[in-house]
């Protein structure tokens, strides 16, 4: 039996939250393990319940999603965070990728898109819509956007191969099969790339690669 993806959902809008839970519960692969109306409740519940993917609204009372995110990335670094928002401006996206967010989804997207996004962040560590990818590319020529990394990083040939495959949405298993190597070796190279680019996760290194023209 396939292990279900454990989902935490934090949103202060009661009807939206309950409606989303009802729709996600129709997916056999998902299990809602936490629901919270603000960041403080979310963090308290994460202390005792393990989750794989967090669907996070940023504008909540008591403790906002942005405040909660800073704590979550320290206390629960393995938790994949998919932000549900109504905002998609460049500065907003750039800032949150820097904080370690794994993906973004505008709230008016379809449930099918959300399901795809959950699978993507769980299996491949990131989910970027075409809009987010466009923002990353646009940021390359913006002097107001500060790169957190060194654009002259000396990658090995193997690291470039793996980085390219990551950016083209290959999973660790798929990369291992394509390059005929073990999954642990792929993860070792991934860790090196993350360290070299000063990123927090795979989403960060994809952001780096797009901004620096390393992939098409």
Does a structural domain hold residue 145?
Answer: no
* Residue 215 banded pLDDT, cuts 50, 70, 90: low
Residue 206 belongs to domain spanning: 150-211
- Asked which of 138, 166, 182 is the last residue of a domain, the reply is 138
Instruction: Give the pLDDT mean for 148-162.
Output: 73
Q: Say whether both 178 and 95 belong to one domain.
A: no
Q: Say whether both 166 and 73 belong to one domain.
A: no
- Asked which of 138, 169, 186 is the last residue of a domain, the reply is 138
Does a structural domain hold residue 216?
Answer: no
* pLDDT above 70 as % of the chain: 88
- pLDDT value for 97: 82
Q: Say whether both 58 and 94 belong to one domain.
A: yes
- pLDDT value for 203: 81
Task: Name which residue leads in pLDDT, 47 or 96.
Answer: 47
Does a structural domain hold residue 42?
Answer: yes
Q: What is the DSSP string of the chain?
A: -PPPEEEEEE-S-HHHHHHHHHHHTT-TTEEEEEEESSHHHHHHHHTTS--SEEEEES--SSS-HHHHHHHHHHH-TT-EEEEEES---HHHHHHHHHTT--EEEETTS-HHHHHHHHHHHHHHS-B--HHHHHHHHHHTT-TTSPPSS-TT----HHHHHHHHHHHTT--HHHHHHHHT--HHHHHHHHHHHHHHTT-SSHHHHHHHHHHTT---
Q: Say whether both 14 and 104 belong to one domain.
A: yes
Q: Say whether both 25 and 97 belong to one domain.
A: yes
Number of structural domains the chain divides into? 2
Q: Say whether both 11 and 102 belong to one domain.
A: yes
Does a structural domain hold residue 143?
Answer: no
Q: Say whether both 64 and 115 belong to one domain.
A: yes
**Reading across the β-sheet that carries 5-10, which strands appear in turn?**
30-36, 5-10, 53-57, 80-85, 103-106
Q: Say whether both 56 and 124 belong to one domain.
A: yes
Q: Say whether both 128 and 154 belong to one domain.
A: no
For residue 146, give the nearest of 70, 216, 91, 204 by alpha carbon.
91
Q: Say whether both 187 and 112 belong to one domain.
A: no
Q: Say whether both 199 and 93 belong to one domain.
A: no
Does a structural domain hold residue 144?
Answer: no
- pLDDT value for 147: 38
Among 2-16, 42-56, 144-158, 173-187, the range scoring the smallest mean pLDDT is: 144-158
Q: Say whether both 125 and 53 belong to one domain.
A: yes
* pLDDT above 90 as % of the chain: 43
Task: Name which residue leads in pLDDT, 39 or 153.
Answer: 39
């Amino acid at each position: 039996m396939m292990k279900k993806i454990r989902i935490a959902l934090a949103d202060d809008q009661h009807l939206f939250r309950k409606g989303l839970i009802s729709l996600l519960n129709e997916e056999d692969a998902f299990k809602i393990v936490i629901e919270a109306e603000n960041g403080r409740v979310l963090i308290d519940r994460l202390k005792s319940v393990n989750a794989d993917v967090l669907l996070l609204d940023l504008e909540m009372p008591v403790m906002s999603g942005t405040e909660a995110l800073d704590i979550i990335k320290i206390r629960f670094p393995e938790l994949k965070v998919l932000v549900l928002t109504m905002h998609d401006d460049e500065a907003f996206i750039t800032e949150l990728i820097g904080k370690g967010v794994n993906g973004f989804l505008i709230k008016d997207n379809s449930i099918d898109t959300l399901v795809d996004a959950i699978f993507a962040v769980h299996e491949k560590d990131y989910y970027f819509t075409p809009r987010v990818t466009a923002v990353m590319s646009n940021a390359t020529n913006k002097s107001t956007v500060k790169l957190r990394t060194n654009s002259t990083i000396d990658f090995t040939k193997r690291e470039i191969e793996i980085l390219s495959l990551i950016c083209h949405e290959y999973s660790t298993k798929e990369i291992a099969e394509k390059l005929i190597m073990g999954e642990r070796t792929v993860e070792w190279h991934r860790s090196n790339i993350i360290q070299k680019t000063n990123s927090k996760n795979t989403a960060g290194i994809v952001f780096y690669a797009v901004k620096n023209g390393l992939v098409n």
